[in-house]
Structure 1
Amino acid sequence: MNTKSDQRPQTGTADWNEYARHRGRVLHREELADNVHLYVVEKPDDFNFRPGQAVELAIDEQEWREQKRPFTLTSLPSNPRLEFVIKSYPVISNPEHEGMTEHLGRDICVGDRVIFGDAWGAIEYSGPGVFIAGGAGITPFIAIIRQLEQEQKLAGNRLFFSNKRVRDVFLQGELFRCLGHRVVCTLTEETHPDYESGRIDKDWLQSRVKSFDQQFYVCGPPPMVDDISVALQELGADPHAIVTEDTE
């Protein structure tokens, strides 16, 4: 399996000063879906990144500066501002998230500041293929798809986008504008006439992919990524052509 990634900063507080080189104020925030927000942030002059890369980001408040989390940049490198699409996880139902994204989604306003380190690896485009995303796992693909559209290189690419419910889907209009009928949105916890139903698994993929001799880009919850990676290999995909996010 091919995990295209530069070294990700270590978690914890000992290396915080080294990886929080950049600061920017929130210039705009907008709700895109249930617990999903777009944040537009000032772009430091010395900050550079590639489509698909992420940063370790924290809220610039005393009690939150050490609570950094990885978030993917969804803007293009040429954009004068940075954009993040971030899903918030309420602690009451997601105690493992420790409240950082909940605080970000509930309390952070225009004018507040975030701090973040240099961009690191994550998913890198290696040629036409199939993008497979689960929920917020779509975020590394947003900047990649935007870059491909700008370069007029979207031909040969498809997107499978899985969410639990209709209210969880975001940026659907832009994705369909870019890829048209090559986008398939599926729901796992409800049915709707405008969406397909069911989890993306081996049978689902076999019924929708004609050739497994191509690139596959997979991002989403770790169990989903693991299961789909195994299914793709069982269906004949080259392990080196399966690009996943390195979370180590």
Structure 2
Amino acid sequence: MSYTVAIKSIEKVTHDVKKFTFEKPEGYSFTPGQATEASINKEGWEDEKRPFTFTSLNEDPDLEFIIKIYEDHDGVTNQIGKLEVGDEFIIDDPWGTIQYKGPGVYLAGGAGVTPFIAIFRDLHKKGELEGNTLIFSNKTAKDVILQEEFEEMLGDNFVSVLTDKDAEGHMFLDGFIDKDFLAEQIDNYDQPFYVCGPMKFNENMMKYLKELGAEPDSLVFEE
């Protein structure tokens, strides 16, 4: 089933990421970590559907999406970046395989962090965030989505990794997330691991985790 929803507000999150708040259809419900297929309700774009994860909670009065805008080519997100309050999305029913399976380690690459946002917000609201760690890889400090919120929610269990060798900042770890880095950061492989990022990132993280002793059944990712 499809729903047409209007934009209520737009906020800048980083230099290339925006937060969009939409009206919520009556009776529409989802669980933290789920996404929907969405398209722009404008001529020529209605059938260009893309998956976007809900960053709001089900009990919130509005729907929220945090979306990275790619301005370097005339694709869907470039068009989304030009939208204004009152413009509309067409969204489908919720779907998704990234759901909370208990305390664990979250490995996110760039905008791949979005399925984890609602999960963390939900656990934080319930007072059940203890035992969860986020290892978040970005190129530079200006690319880190919701850094302050993650620091507030997770404290020392928020690990920010910058891959740009020129990146500076005492709260950051320089370099790529590789097998040695994971071995340093993780001392328990008998827990869930949640992985989301670009395809190559996902493939590498799964490979490293399995080599380090994680059970395949404990890996949670978008299939």
Structures share fold, TM-score greater than 0.5: yes
- In the alignment, what sits opposite 2:16? 35
- In the alignment, what sits opposite 1:245? 222
Given candidates 107, 118, 126, the residue that maps to 1:143 is 118
Q: What displacement does 1:34 show? A: 2.0
Given candidates 216, 224, 232, the residue that maps to 2:209 is 232
Alpha-carbon distance between aligned partners in 2 of 1:34 and 1:215, rounded to the nearest angstrom: 32
Question: What pairs with 1:68-79 in structure 2 (closer than 5 Å)?
Answer: 68-79=49-60
Alpha-carbon distance between aligned partners in 2 of 1:157 and 1:146, rounded to the nearest angstrom: 12
Alpha-carbon distance between aligned partners in 1 of 2:142 and 2:125, rounded to the nearest angstrom: 29
TM-score of the two chains, using structure 2 as the length reference: 0.96
SS at match of 1:191: coil
Q: Which runs of 4+ in 1 moved over 6 A?
A: none
SS at match of 2:107: strand
Alpha-carbon distance between aligned partners in 1 of 2:18 and 2:151, rounded to the nearest angstrom: 20
Alpha-carbon distance between aligned partners in 2 of 1:124 and 1:200, rounded to the nearest angstrom: 23
- In the alignment, what sits opposite 1:111? 86
Q: Deviations over 1:109-165 (max 9, x none)?
A: 011111110000231010000011000000000000001011111111100011011
Q: Deviations over 1:20-62 (max 9, x none)?
A: x111110011111121000000000031111000000011001
Q: Deviations over 1:74-104 (max 9, x none)?
A: 0000000000000011244xxxxx5110111
Alpha-carbon distance between aligned partners in 1 of 2:198 and 2:55, rounded to the nearest angstrom: 18
* 1:133 aligns to 2:108 (yes or no): yes
Alpha-carbon distance between aligned partners in 1 of 2:168 and 2:222, rounded to the nearest angstrom: 30
- In the alignment, what sits opposite 1:44? 25
CA RMSD of aligned residues (A): 1.0
Given candidates 159, 163, 167, the residue that maps to 2:142 is 167
- In the alignment, what sits opposite 2:47? 66
Alpha-carbon distance between aligned partners in 2 of 1:46 and 1:176, rounded to the nearest angstrom: 33
- In the alignment, what sits opposite 1:89? 70
SS at match of 1:146: helix
* 1:23 aligns to 2:23 (yes or no): no
Question: What pairs with 1:204-243 in structure 2 (closer than 5 Å)?
Answer: 204-243=181-220
Alpha-carbon distance between aligned partners in 1 of 2:71 and 2:167, rounded to the nearest angstrom: 25
Alpha-carbon distance between aligned partners in 1 of 2:162 and 2:97, rounded to the nearest angstrom: 26
The letter for the 2-side match of 1:146 is: R
- In the alignment, what sits opposite 2:36? 55
Alpha-carbon distance between aligned partners in 1 of 2:97 and 2:138, rounded to the nearest angstrom: 21
Alpha-carbon distance between aligned partners in 2 of 1:91 and 1:156, rounded to the nearest angstrom: 39
- In the alignment, what sits opposite 1:102? 78
- In the alignment, what sits opposite 1:199? 176
The letter for the 2-side match of 1:179 is: L
Q: Structure 2 stretches of 5 or more lacking a match?
A: none
Q: Structure 1 stretches of 5 or more lacking a match?
A: 1-18, 93-97
Alpha-carbon distance between aligned partners in 1 of 2:79 and 2:215, rounded to the nearest angstrom: 41
8 Å contact from structure 1 (residues 54, 122) kept in 2: no
Q: What displacement does 1:191 show? A: 1.9
